Amino acid sequence: MKKIFFTIQTLLMINLLFSCTPPQQTTEGERIYVFDEQKNEDKIEVKKDGEFPDISETYYVVQIGAFTTKERAEKFAELSRTKIDRDIIITYSENNNLYLVQLSPFYKLRQEAELIRDELKIIPEFSDVWIVTVNK
């Protein structure tokens, strides 16, 4: 009975070990491990001046602040760069007469933008972060 229990326990451990291995891609006999891969086609690169890209589809922007003066927007952007490891841009909205502090890149999928927003919301300085939908 002890021997059967040991054998079953060993088989369960082996099964657990192999079922928990990370996803793999094989290239010419070489193993590459993939963890939380983000697709580049889901992102939209943004010019450093923050000008919205001229594309014909809807995209999503994670915005962390909006200010009446450029100086206040720049100060907040600099402080934000010390708190989070993301590209931050400043753009001016003529519609609202505000300087917008946003993250780059922009996203084609709302779910991607929501993940970033939710990650930032737990940091007190970014509790008001929101997503801007740009429709073209």
- Give the Cα separation of 52 and 54 in Å (integer): 6
Predicted pLDDT at 57: 83
- Listed in sequence order, the residues at least 6 apart from 79 whose beta carbon sits closer than 8 Å to its beta carbon are 125
- Give the Cα separation of 63 and 135 in Å (integer): 16
Mean pLDDT by 10 residues, the chain (136 residues): 46 41 43 42 56 72 96 97 94 92 94 96 94 88
User: 53 and 44 in contact (C-beta within 8 Å)?
Assistant: yes
Predicted pLDDT at 6: 42
* Helix, strand, or coil (residue 35): coil
Domain ranges of the chain: 2-33, 43-134
Domain 43-134 has what CATH class? alpha beta
